[in-house]
Chain A
């Protein structure tokens, strides 16, 4: 039931650095050591 072209459980989450709403740089790998929920939003206007 896996679809090609999507990411699948077991794969490493691609690392990234983005700015949060307080202008702090947040790196995914900084959270290594505890579970994390990653939600990709639709966007708002």
Chain B
């Protein structure tokens, strides 16, 4: 997502990344990696829980979840990763976004 960030901002689409780390760790990582999009610390995992992010004990951790939310605040796409690297590519997300834009959602 990071390399194609400008493709999202060109479409006035913001990326919010929610993670289980505390705010200090989050800040340090974001600065170190110079990540351009919004990073949100969710240390008590409350938001992750509301979105049903899956935790796989065998794979030792949280599984990735990526959603696209439309202008009205409705979820239009949700991908629950089956592995740590099972994350939708930018083209998939941009296609969903372009379809929303075309239908004025």
User: What residues of chain A have their CB less than 8 Å away from a CB belonging to chain B?
Assistant: 3, 5-16, 18-21, 23, 26, 28-29, 31-45
Contacts and interface: CB of A to CB of B under 8 A. Distances in A.
Contact of B16 (A10, A28, A29, A32): A28
Contacts of A41: 17-20, 62, 64
Among A6, A12, A38, A43, the one with the most B-chain Cβ atoms within 10 Å of its Cβ is A38
B78 A7 contact: yes
Given A28-B16, A44-B29, A11 B11 contact: no
Given A20-B38, A34-B13, A39-B1, 5 more contacts: A11-B75, A18-B18, A35-B70, A36-B16, A39-B64
A7 B75 contact: yes
Determine chain A's interface SS by DSSP, over half rule: loop
Interface in B14-44: 14-21, 23, 25-27, 29-31, 38-42
Interface residues of B, number: 58
Interface of B: 1, 8, 11-21, 23, 25-27, 29-31, 38-42, 46-48, 50-53, 61-78, 80, 84, 87, 93, 97, 100-101, 105
Among B1, B11, B66, the one with the most A-chain Cβ atoms within 10 Å of its Cβ is B66
B18 A36 contact: no
Contacts of A20: 38-40
